[in-house]
Structure 1
Amino acid sequence: MTNTLIEILPGTYTIDPARSGASFAAYHTIGKKPVRGEVPVRSGTVTVADEPRRSTVSAELDVTGWRTDNPRRDKDVRGKRFLDADRHPVIGFRSTRVTGSAQGWQVVGVLSVRGGSTEVSLAITGMEPTVDGCRITATTRVDRVAAGVTTGRALIARHVDVELTVTLVS
């Protein structure tokens, strides 16, 4: 998916959780291979305005579905020391602005994690039409410490790379 120039008609679209998700790569501070995993999308809405820069995005990821290739690590990450999924079962995103340039579209907003929040910028890296809407991919780098996940600083690098794939349906 590389076409970021398709037109999406103005209107309100729902993110289809069954066809959407987030993948991530977290890095060790000592240079080992990255830890890769996935987090399911719980819900979301995209409102495309007549003037694209006035569009809005909101989405929630389901922290209880955090998965890597290591169930023991997953339980620890979902636990009180890291994401505290029992008290904070979602990671939320709410856009504050949408910008476009020759380099592509950016959706800037507030990412809420574990009761904290930080600004992130999602770079739209692909769009393609589907039978009932469109599929969009976006990437971002999250500063987990700024977002409130401060545990593990000696072992886990500060930044986590995230790729989102969402299917919008009308």
Structure 2
Amino acid sequence: MSKKGHKKTNALRILDTHHIPYEVFTYEWSEEQAAGVHVAESLQIPVEQVFKTLVGKGNVTGHVVFCIPVEGELDMKQAARVSGNKSVELIAVKELLPLTGYLRGGCSPLGMKKAFPTFFDASIEHISSVYVSAGLRGMQVQVEPTSLITVVEGTVAPLTMG
């Protein structure tokens, strides 16, 4: 769970380049416990601070990235609307690595192979720090939300159901 001795990922290199303070946390990752709620439980942090990264493809814009709370469900109509599309579909897991450079369970909004339009759920505005994947399964990075949004040139909008 400490910052020391962790592997430097593309996501962390980007934060370093922009002089953004962060802290890295590690936990045991397994396919059986791949859900983001497991991350919060393992790290003993509030679940509303842990965000998952979803990659979709819009019918107009092409690939788009959505970061939402791990307990949330992406509202596909809202995702399409805010990203300038009529429809958005999440990409297949097998497409994730070649497209982003990340595996499922380790996909970060930072450091993908290419910069895609990135949208953060509006709930991010109500938390002081957010945890997102650091680019490897079993590794999260804690960062101040505004800094994260700025680095990826993200947009904040309501994205979850309910």
* TM-score normalised by length of structure 2: 0.30
Q: Return the index of the structure with the highest Cα Rg.
A: 1
Could you say which structure has the higher helix fraction? 2
* TM-score normalised by length of structure 1: 0.29
Could you say which structure has the higher strand fraction? 1
